[in-house]
Amino acid sequence: RTRLENDVAVDRPGAMGAYKYLEELWRKKQSDMMRFLLRVRCWEYRQLPAIHRATRPTRPDKARRLGYKAKQGFVIYRVRVRRGGRKKPLRKGINNGKPVNAGVNKIKWKRNLRSLAEERVGRKCGALRVLNSYWVAQDAAHKFYEVILVDPQHKVIRDDPRINWLCAPTMKHRELRGLTSAGRQHRGLRHKGHKSNHMRPSIRATWKRNNTQSLRRYR
């Protein structure tokens, strides 16, 4: 190719960058290469502690889409979470009360496992702020997530106008209050339009507003 042909090849609309190729690879999780990679990674992650720091993101394209930058102040933690329902912890399965509350098995957790992973990392790394998270692997017993954390005291973070909003005191433990992407998902805030007004600002706030009688005060 001539130099002009190379320039034209790069500038055409269909040309894909490296991150786009990575994205396409992760879309085809049933391909032989990805099945082998994920199987080996699952084995490796099982040998590591449940919460450990990763040197770099396993999915750099996904991490960058969620706000990660390869610079000082950004940290990646990998978390292992148990899959499946949540059995009620009762001695000998005895639940004293009404039969409607007597269930022990088939109890489902209300939130998604990604928000649970964020919560566990946020508790372990209390000085850092949870930005976002994404799925990396799973097997029959566990799911593995990588959580993007930011150091709010780092000068590089505080001086960057694109990320220093996370340094505000109101952003402490966003993951515990359902303010991250996974938290908004389990609160039902991904939906807009018909019937979504029952979700805002929250289901309980809507119930309270609809069930509270407010009368004008006589003066």
Q: How far apart are the first and last CA of the chain?
A: 88
Q: Whole-model pTM?
A: 0.85
CA dist 82 and 130 (Å) reads: 21
Angle, CA of 92, 108 and 35, to the nearest 5°: 115
| Residue 108, token pair as written in the block | 């489902």
From first to last of its 219 residues, what are the pLDDT tens digits of the chain? 666 555 545 555 667 889 999 999 999 999 999 999 999 999 999 999 999 999 999 999 999 999 999 999 999 999 999 999 889 999 998 988 899 988 999 999 889 999 999 999 999 999 999 999 999 999 999 999 999 999 999 999 999 999 999 999 999 999 999 999 999 999 999 888 888 888 988 999 999 999 999 888 887
Q: Tell me, what amino acid is at 157? A: I
**pLDDT for 193:** 87
In the three-class reduction of DSSP (H, G, I as helix; E, B as strand; rest coil), residue 206 is classed as helix
Compute the distance between CA of residue 15 and CA of residue 7 in angstroms, rounded to an integer.
11
Three-state DSSP state, 133: strand
107: three-class secondary structure by DSSP? coil
